[in-house]
Amino acid sequence: MRQRESRWQGRGCRIRKNKQWKKTSLGIIIIVMCVTAFLSGRALAESIDNQRIAVKTNQTVVTSGQINLAQTTETESTDGWNLILVNKTHPVKENYPVKLVQLKNGQAIDERAYPALQAMMDDARATGLSPYICSSYRTNEKQTTLYNNQVNKYRKQGYSEADAAAEAGKWVAVPGTSEHQIGLAVDIVAKSYQVLDKKQERTAEQRWLMENCHKYGFILRYPSEKSEITGIGYEPWHYRYVGKEAAAAIMKEDKCLEEYLDEISSNIAGGI
């Protein structure tokens, strides 16, 4: 009997141990499952956050891309073509593509800016004025000819070669640095006074254009008080298409294009 009881007791111990082991195993499994679920949930959350960060980063890249190309967040364009900066430190890219619309007097302008130019000219004429486009798109060869002519003009006045080139560059852009070469600039004068000098600002045509050009997306590109920034002397006849949004801001804030684009770059760099 004692031996049988001993065997049953031993068997009972093994049964209890098996039950305890099963309980322990089940507990471990439950804990592992909970930890796995927690980690999976955390990984999923991190993945979602990373996706959100990626989206923000991509948006920043797109915006930065616009700034690199045209220094703009202009809503009127998708690639910043209307705010491309062209000056002595930002030359026109070689083989820059321009799709032109030919005007009646042999002039031409980028086809994307043409509707705004036509509207501005039509409205000016509707008030009884006679604006006349005397210069617009130029090839590099044309710009070279104009620049060399200006250099020769100063040389005949006694300037040295270097001084003549420097002085000429204040009034005629060095080839490759003229806005006329991207088809977004037009020189507009009064038909009754077709002289490119300071007196041009006194004509009724120029007074109207200076006051209203921003409504059509144009700006007076080289104001008299901004020459040190633009690098070009005062030209009360040179208008540049930048789009209505930019033109309105530039006029309201009394800035030149360089200042406006610098402000945009600073705002984006600062996260505004």
Digit-coded pLDDT (tens) for 188-225 = 999 999 999 999 999 999 999 999 999 999 999 999 99
Which residues is 239 bridged to in the sheet?
A: 186, 220
pLDDT of residue 41: 47
Active site residue 94: no
Angstrom CA distances, 40 to 15, 97, 103, stand at: 37, 52, 66
pLDDT of residue 64: 23
pLDDT of residue 27: 54
Mark the ranges of the chain whose per-residue pLDDT is less than 70: 1-78, 269-272
The reported pTM is 0.70
- Catalytic site residue from 235, 245, 253, 258: 235
Helix (H) / strand (E) containing 131: strand 131-135
What is the spatial distance between Cα 169 and Cα 164, in angstroms, rounded to a whole number? Answer: 9
Task: Tell me, letter by letter, the H, E, C secondary structure of 145-214.
Answer: HHHHHHHHHHHHCCCCHHHHHHHHCCCCCCCCCCHHHHCCEEEEEECCECCCCHHHHHCHHHHHHHHHHH
